[in-house]
């Protein structure tokens, strides 16, 4: 049961090309947004499509792979863990964010997508 702790699996489309940075240690980090869609029928019988946006962070060799092959709109499946962090900006305002640290990504959709 330990392997089920803090595990996230998503299938969605990239909302942007990955932003990739190389750190001082030569390790790469990639960040991008991922849209997942849910559809349901409301009480009036109309189909409603809801989009949720997720912030994804990828490290190391997997970040290099994302840099080479992922583009806005590409459909992927990923697995990772949910993380929360905060920071204080120059105006002393604290910001909070929720991110998914991906450790596995599978490319879906057409090869030329």
Indicate if the pLDDT at residue 113 is higher than 60.
no
Average per-residue pLDDT for the chain: 93
Rounded to whole angstroms, the Cα distance separating 32 from 54 reads: 8
Q: Per-residue pLDDT tens for 16-56?
A: 999 999 999 999 999 999 999 999 999 999 999 999 999 99
List the domains of the chain with CATH numbers.
2-39+48-94+103-107 (2.40.50.140)
pLDDT of 98 over the 60 cut: yes
Name the pTM for this structure: 0.86
What is the C-alpha separation between 10 and 22, in angstroms, rounded? 26
pLDDT of 1-19, one tens digit each? 666 789 999 999 999 999 9
**Alpha carbons 108 and 71: distance in angstroms, whole number:** 12
| pLDDT-above-70 percentage for the chain | 94
Q: Which pLDDT value is given to residue 4?
A: 74
What's the count of helices (H) and strands (E) in the chain, helices before strands? 1, 6
pLDDT of residue 1: 60
pLDDT band at 109 (very low <50, low <70, confident <90, very high): confident
């Amino acid at each position: 049961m330990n392997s089920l702790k803090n595990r996230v699996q998503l299938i969605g489309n990239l909302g942007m090309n990955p932003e990739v940075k190389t750190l001082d240690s030569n390790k790469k980090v990639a960040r991008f947004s991922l849209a997942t869609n849910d559809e349901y029928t409301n009480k009036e019988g109309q189909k409603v499509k809801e989009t949720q946006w997720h912030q994804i962070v990828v490290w190391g060799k997997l970040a290099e792979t994302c840099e080479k092959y992922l583009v806005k709109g590409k459909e992927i499946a990923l697995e990772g863990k949910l993380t929360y962090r905060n920071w204080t900006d120059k105006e002393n305002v604290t910001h909070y964010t929720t991110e998914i640290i991906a450790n596995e990504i599978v490319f879906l959709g057409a090869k030329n997508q």
